[in-house]
A and B are shown apart, each in its own frame.
Chain A
Amino acid sequence: MERIAHVDKLRLKFPGDTSLIFKDLSSTIYKGEKVLLLGPSGCGKSTLLQVLSGLIPHSIEVPMKAEELVSPPSFGYVFQDPDSQFCMPFVDEEIAFVLENINVPKQQMIDRIHHHLQQVGLHLPNIHTSIQTLSGGMKQRLAIASVLALKPDVLFLDEPTAMLDPKGTKEIWNVLKEVGQEKTVIIVEHKIDHVLEFIDRIILFNEAGQIIADGPKEIILSTYQEEMREQGIWFPGVWEEYLDTTPLLRLRTPFEKKEKILDVQNFKGFRQKEEKIRVDQLQAYSGEWIVIKGENGAGKSTLLHAFMQFIKTTGHCELLGTAIKKVKKQSDFMTFVFQNPEFQFVTNSVYEEIAYTLKVDKKDSREIEKKVEELLEWFRLGDHRDKHPYQLSMGQKRRLSVAASIVNEQKLILLDEPTFGQDSKNTFALLEWIEELRLKGTTIIMITHDEQITNNFATRIWTIEAGKVISDETQSISINPELVSV
């Protein structure tokens, strides 16, 4: 078989780090293979992908050494963030940029652009469409189309669906399966449901950046389940396993004392004078876990923004019996956890971050200390208290953002896809924390695309379609007979 990419005895470290990411790592990819690199976050899979493609060391300068390094002459690379892989403002110009790079004559460009857009199923009425108006899924299709314009033999995919909802994820993988059939494909991904049928080989990493297994997918999947669970990889069946081994807290103690927290009637939210969300009437009570469902762009985030008064609203909206616009210090009663935790951080250390809101309110310093210590321990952040929030890992950042938001013990917590991009271990832990808050009487309103969360944690479901809340169903708690008898 023909070698397509190869490293031998790779040693690599990031500038500033004291230890190596890879120590004498060797790996070979052969022509036509579909390979999945799997491992916990921070183990260096993406870095290895960049080495195999030759982006390291050609484009990214990183201290590294290898006995031998072979990278493919013609490759395409799809990155995870749809917003930071384009350099032109319009769809046609972006693909044209690639065609210009490989010296395609101007006369052929229009045809080629149409052809590649067709290939990825991106049907636009006008190819001169602004990239900003596309949805995340469409942007990733465009990214694939522009990569296909290079006519590559090898495709490198670095979590191409990390930022997409389940529908977008499925669509992108369908496209990739089709265009990748004849090519060598190397993938980094941790949501592996859609990828599994496509690939034939898995390389499994541990936390130290060592390859612990490499072989046909069937063997790896059946032999290394324990390792994958430890690493928080979303392998098929991880949810079932979790549900089997962890009796849901909710089943043990349903919340009884009900108090009306939020009362909304004839409520409308506006962005730039345009009505974007409409609610006829909705109520939320203490101890409820409400999940907001709906397609991308239906107005889920807009609804939460309207509750938080980030945007202009009209109509009736009462928080604990007071009109929301008249509530002073709204942040004492309700809080919001953003999708991207980084935007929420305002201080230089984990400890300060949690203490911040309390300090602004000039609470007693001993009280602050007690509260912060409690939260540090609860969210397992005690060891990192002096770190800058940006130095934390993805999972830790998420935990910190939740901890810092709930420090005032607000009665209403709004969350915008909090489990997004998290590994399975972090997701389950986060869900359990939220459940504990709910059992103390907190109302949770949460946007999620995850069916499993909706089915297993929500007590109520609001569905949004085209800017309108179209249904409000209470989810009956299916009581497990074994637990009732206890």
Chain B
Amino acid sequence: MQLDFSSKETWLHRINPSLKLFVLIMLCIVVLLVHNLLFMVNLTIIVLILFLCFTGQPLKRILLLFIPFFVVFLSTSSSMILFGQGNTTWFKWGLIHITEESFFRGLLVGFRALLFAVLGLTFALTTRPVYLFYSLMQQVKLKPKYAYSFMAALRLIPIMLEEFQTIQNAMKVRGVVRQTGIRSVFFKMKAYSIPMLSGSIRRAHRIAIAMEAKRFSDTRDRTYYYEIGFSKHDLVFILYFVILLLGGYYGAVKGI
């Protein structure tokens, strides 16, 4: 089984991963603090442009990934809109009580959830984990010990998926599927988790030994196969946000 999300490379891929991570985290904090609905809408548009046009993924996959987050948007905002509190009642029917305040707060919260999701997705779709960790080692001085253990762990994920499938087949053969009742749920959980856990622990241990056998040590002075620096793309990325955010804020205040 393979997880393949490879795509065309765009300028978003070429941005320094540490910088990208930093900017996107800052944006998340900004999103938390914004209470102006218009500004929030502008922000969403700014980020959506990047997500829809510059991740290099086929549009079909982008829309597919977008569906769950759109559902999150609808559910968070609608629950706030329908059951929130407020003074100016627009509509009331049984439990449902829509007020002006709850309507706008609902939209705000919905957009906030949506923005978090889109920011995260944009980052994940345009960043190879290996580059991210190389960059973190070089720009943020992350200890190699942590960087390489994360990279090794990422390699284990597809192997674990394959194991999961094998266990699933084995359960079929043994007739576990036919076991019924509440106890069977716990039984199945155990039957899956124990072999997977024991397998992963053993494998992680072996990889750790193999890494040390290849003279891996935790010193920071090592050479790097990928030397990751900064480029004009980074400037474009920062300017994109600075200009559009200022524009969006100005527009929101002026009420456009």
Contact = CB atoms under 8 A, between A and B. Distances in A.
Contacts of A106: 223-225, 227
Given A60-B209, A357-B174, A87 B152 contact: yes
B206 A81 contact: yes
A169 interface: no
A141 to B, nearest CB: 15
B125 interface: no
Number of contact residues on B: which range applies?
Answer: 35 or more
A83 B203 CA distance: 8
Contact of B199 (A105, A310, A342): A342
* Most A CB within 10 A of own CB, among B148, B207, B215: B215
B191 to A, nearest CB: 4
A270 to B, nearest CB: 14
B187 to A, nearest CB: 8
A88 B214 CA distance: 13
A404 interface: yes
A329 B155 contact: no
A197 B144 CA distance: 42
Interface stretch (A89-97, A174-182, A239-247, A468-476): A89-97
Given A100-B225, A132-B158, A342-B195, A87 B176 contact: no
B222 A101 contact: yes
* Most B CB within 10 A of own CB, among A105, A147, A360: A360
Contacts of B213: 53, 55, 59, 75-77, 79
* Most B CB within 10 A of own CB, among A60, A79, A89, A150: A89
Interface string A344-358: 111000000000110
Given A105-B223, A344-B170, A361 B215 contact: no
Interface string B196-210: 001100110011111
A131 B156 CA distance: 12
A58 interface: yes
B172 A87 contact: no
A84 B210 contact: yes
A308 interface: yes
A463 interface: no
Interface string B122-142: 000000001000000000000
Interface residues of A, number: 58
A486 interface: no
In terms of DSSP, what is the predominant structure of the interface of chain B?
helix
A109 B176 CA distance: 51
Contacts of B154: 89
Given A93-B225, A343-B195, A84 B206 contact: yes
Contacts of A405: 173-174
A87 B173 contact: no
A89 B148 CA distance: 11
Contacts of B234: none
B171 interface: yes
Interface stretch (B58-66, B78-86, B161-169, B238-246): B161-169
Interface in B20-57: none
B175 A343 contact: no
B135 to A, nearest CB: 14
12 contacts: A83-B203, A84-B210, A85-B207, A87-B152, A89-B151, A97-B214, A100-B223, A103-B223, A106-B225, A331-B174, A344-B173, A361-B175
Given A79-B206, A84-B202, A104-B223, 5 more contacts: A55-B212, A329-B175, A342-B198, A343-B170, A357-B175
Interface of B: 2, 130, 148, 151-152, 154-155, 158-159, 163, 166-167, 169-176, 178-179, 187, 191, 195, 198-199, 202-203, 206-217, 221-225, 227
